[in-house]
Amino acid sequence: MYKELTTSNRILMGPGPSDAHPRVLKAMSTPLIGHLDPEFVTIMDEVKTMVQNTFMTKNNMTFVVSAPGSAGMETCLVNLLEPGDEVIICVNGVFGGRMADIAERCGAKVHKVEVAWGTVVSPEDVKKALDICKKPKLVALVHAETSTGALQPIKEISDLVHNAGGLLMVDAVTSYCGIELKVDDWNIDAIYTGTQKNLSAPPGLSPVSFSDNALKALENRKTKVQSWFLDLSLVKNYWGGAKRAYHHTAPVSSVYALRESLRIVLEEGLENRWKRHKEVHEVLKTKLESLGFRYLVEKQYRLPNLNAVFLPEGNDEALLRKKLLNDYNIEVGGGLGDFAGKIWRVGIMGESCTLNHVNMLVSALHDMKEFRN
């Protein structure tokens, strides 16, 4: 028999999840109601409106996938792609690579635009790809690469993609509610995100939005969507429409938590939230650099909320990370892929984006005799 659940009181400063607000945790413990209860339908409607507000979109096809961000990624791709479609996928880290993998599983012909991890894709890179694949069904980009801390400019590439008649798909998992993101202004056709980053809700859901043009592509499909669970032609009647049709059972408690986290974001205001992430980043950056850390990404393309940094020479990153966790209860992330063992990913996202978080981490590093400055 197992004992009661006990966990250490962690300070979450990795690539996510981030610390959840006590109000969000409290909302999760609300007793269940039925997923087709009129009260729950109202909650879904409220969540939908708040997701539209935080995506800055009027897209009616805005909803929440009942699974984590990776399933949101797959939702966009399986609904928009059919076997034989040509697509351009920009790859500058783990998540671009994952999009390419999924697109291939949809039977699409994938043209990859690959640039070095830690850099971003330039409009010129996309132009070159459009010279080869002149009429892509879609072009996919990662707005905020969680594996490298790079912030991808969108607007100029969006224009190129639309001029070529393609749809623009964006991964906003680590940018949503922490960094400027304007779905309608930037003409994004399909976007997905997660809940466990700047939103500071528990992981497990993926807000998604489709433009009218993306919906048209869905309506014009010749083949069925390969996933039943993620098929938007079915899900859309569950998340909207005059008459709700049962599709699957929504994760009631997780939706409660999402609703509360969205309320907190809108109380603060999106622009204030973006500003807070920038300001706290400046303080963190100054302190980390004074300790000898060096940023992976060039200044102008740096994510404020996910700081990918090389440790000062002569440090054992795995040992330090373990000690931070065990002695100080502070979690920071390690590197992925080629950067495994070389960088840390320090997240200051949502509720984890405070001066106290910065000071806790920096003070702990100062304390640790194993850390070489």
Q: Are strands 61-65 and 206-210 parallel, antiparallel or unpaired?
A: antiparallel
Q: Is 10 annotated as a binding residue?
A: no
Q: How far is the CB of 262 from its own copies (least distance, A)?
A: 8
Taking the C-alpha atoms of residue 88 and residue 152, their distance in angstroms, rounded to an integer, is 16
> Does the footprint of its own copies cover residue 207 (CB under 8 A)?
no
Per-residue mark of binding to its own copies, 229-248 (x: CB under 8 A): x----------------xxx
Q: Which stretch binds its own copies (CB under 8 A): 123-131, 222-230, 302-310, 358-366?
A: 222-230
One residue of 19, 125, 145, 171 binding its own copies per CB under 8 A: 19
Nearer to its own copies, 67 or 191 (CB): 67
Residue 341 DSSP class: T
- 346 Ramachandran zone, left/alpha/beta (phi>0; psi -120 to 50): beta
> Does the footprint of its own copies cover residue 14 (CB under 8 A)?
yes
Q: Which stretch binds its own copies (CB under 8 A): 36-44, 109-117, 131-139, 362-370?
A: 36-44
43-72 residues in contact with its own copies (CB under 8 A) are 43, 46, 50, 66-71
HSE, CB side, 13 Å, CA atoms: give it for residue 313: 0
Q: Which two tokens stand for residue 266?
A: 């809108």
Of 8, 7, 12, 3, residue with least CA distance to 203:
12
One residue of 153, 251, 292, 312 binding its own copies per CB under 8 A: 251
> Does the footprint of its own copies cover residue 98 (CB under 8 A)?
yes
Taking the C-alpha atoms of residue 148 and residue 342, their distance in angstroms, rounded to an integer, is 12
> Does the footprint of its own copies cover residue 17 (CB under 8 A)?
yes
One residue of 84, 228, 318, 338 binding its own copies per CB under 8 A: 228
> Does the footprint of its own copies cover residue 168 (CB under 8 A)?
no
112 pairs with which residues across the strands? Answer: 89
One residue of 162, 244, 259, 278 binding its own copies per CB under 8 A: 259
Q: Which two tokens stand for residue 294?
A: 């060096």
Of 13, 11, 8, 92, residue with least CA distance to 334:
13
Q: Which two tokens stand for residue 273?
A: 């939230």
- The residue behind tokens 């303080």 is 283
One residue of 249, 272, 290, 373 binding its own copies per CB under 8 A: 249
> Does the footprint of its own copies cover residue 327 (CB under 8 A)?
no
> Does the footprint of its own copies cover residue 194 (CB under 8 A)?
yes
> Does the footprint of its own copies cover residue 354 (CB under 8 A)?
no
Contact 261, 195 (CB under 8 A): yes
Taking the C-alpha atoms of residue 301 and residue 16, their distance in angstroms, rounded to an integer, is 20
Nearer to its own copies, 10 or 372 (CB): 10
One residue of 74, 82, 125, 171 binding its own copies per CB under 8 A: 74
Residue 199 DSSP class: T
Nearer to its own copies, 228 or 279 (CB): 228
Q: Are strands 138-142 and 86-91 parallel, antiparallel or unpaired?
A: parallel
Q: How far is the CB of 225 from its own copies (least distance, A)?
A: 7
> Does the footprint of its own copies cover residue 221 (CB under 8 A)?
no
Nearer to its own copies, 50 or 141 (CB): 50
Residue 183: C-alpha distances to residues 150, 155, 215 (Å)? 19, 10, 15
> Does the footprint of its own copies cover residue 226 (CB under 8 A)?
yes
Q: Which stretch binds its own copies (CB under 8 A): 121-129, 236-244, 250-258, 363-371?
A: 250-258
206 pairs with which residues across the strands? Answer: 65
Q: Which stretch binds its own copies (CB under 8 A): 22-30, 113-121, 155-163, 180-188?
A: 22-30
Q: How far is the CB of 17 from its own copies (least distance, A)?
A: 5
Q: For the chain, how many residues are written?
A: 373
At 168, give phi and psi (nearest 5°): -105, 125
Element (H, E) at 212: helix 212-219
Binding-site residues, please? 345
